[in-house]
Amino acid sequence: MSGTSRLVIVVGSVREGRFGPVVAAWAAEQAAAHGGFDVAVVDLAEFEIPLSLPAESPKYAGASYPRPAGMATLTARLDAADAFVFVTPEYNHSYPASLKAAIDWHFTQWTAKPVAFVSYGGASGGRHAVLHLENVLSELHAVTIRDRLAFPNYFVTWDAGRPADPEAPVYAKAMFNQLAWWAAALRKARAEAPYPG
Ligand SMILES: Cc1cc2nc3c(=O)[nH]c(=O)nc-3n(C[C@H](O)[C@H](O)[C@H](O)COP(=O)(O)O)c2cc1C
């Protein structure tokens, strides 16, 4: 399997003073170094993503789903993606509401696409958040990547915008290898036959 896949790295936190963009920038650097992706970072803070949803789910309303004008670019980027990395912190043992809202406003944008995780937080490094995301994404027919990067206590384990652990790029490469494989496999599969979702 070969070819360049379009990767969208989603910054999941939108809080003032957040650390998410630092992690996303490092992840984007690692993805670029991998060489198998066209990499774009999508920051949820830049889009209009209300918590109040329309009456129907995008699952049933399909292409006619009424999204805010300020979400159009986000939706187009998710539509065009072959693969995702969710960069997420841990808020009260889960992931931020901003990320859940972005997920819930969409449906086909996730279907039969792979999602990898880069998480960070306190002692657990965001692992609780990722467990919840896996559960949610399986409902949306996305495929989650087995290897993931979790950065516990990032406030003491990151320095100058990168993890102090010299092995981190090695782990990142393993994760991106798996993500690239799934991205190419599922892109081909989506092109060959409609997903029976
Ligand atoms: C509302 C809230 C709840 C949090 N809960 C947890 C938690 O359950 N586990 C954890 O490891 N860190 C927790 N933290 C600490 C965050 O991991 C840390 O603040 C991190 O910087 C948040 O990501 P952000 O800076 O991108 O928003 C919490 C932070 C906030 C704001």
101-156 pLDDT per residue, tens: 999 999 999 999 999 999 999 999 999 999 999 999 999 999 999 999 999 999 99
Residue ranges around ligand 1 (CB below 6 Å): 13, 15, 18-20, 89-93, 121-122, 124
- 1-34 b/e with 16+ CB inside 10 Å = b? eeeebbbbbbbbbbeeebbbebbbebbbebbeeb
- What is residue 3's predicted lDDT score, i.e. its pLDDT? 74
From the list 170, 151, 34, 3, the residue with the least C-alpha distance to 90 is 151
Residue 92 CA to ligand 1 center (angstroms) comes to: 7
2-46, pLDDT tens digit by residue?
Answer: 579 999 999 999 999 999 999 999 999 999 999 999 999 999 999
- What is residue 197's predicted lDDT score, i.e. its pLDDT? 78
CATH homologous superfamily for the domain 5-53+62-192: Flavodoxin domain (3.40.50.360)
Question: What percent of the chain has pLDDT above 90?
Answer: 97
pLDDT band at 158 (very low <50, low <70, confident <90, very high): very high
State the pairing for strand pair 149-152/114-121. parallel
**What mean pLDDT do residues 186-196 have?**
97
Residues in the chain: 197
Ligand 1 pocket test target in 23, 90, 156 with most atoms within 8 Å of CB = 90
pLDDT above 60 for 1: no
- What is residue 2's predicted lDDT score, i.e. its pLDDT? 54
pLDDT above 90 for 56: yes
Write the residue with the smallest CA distance to atom 16 of ligand 1: 121
Ligand 1 atom with the shortest distance to the CA of 89: 23
Write the residue with the smallest CA distance to atom 15 of ligand 1: 121
Ligand 1 pocket test target in 41, 91, 158 with most atoms within 8 Å of CB = 91
**What mean pLDDT do residues 52-63 have?**
93
Q: Is the pTM of this model over 0.95?
A: yes
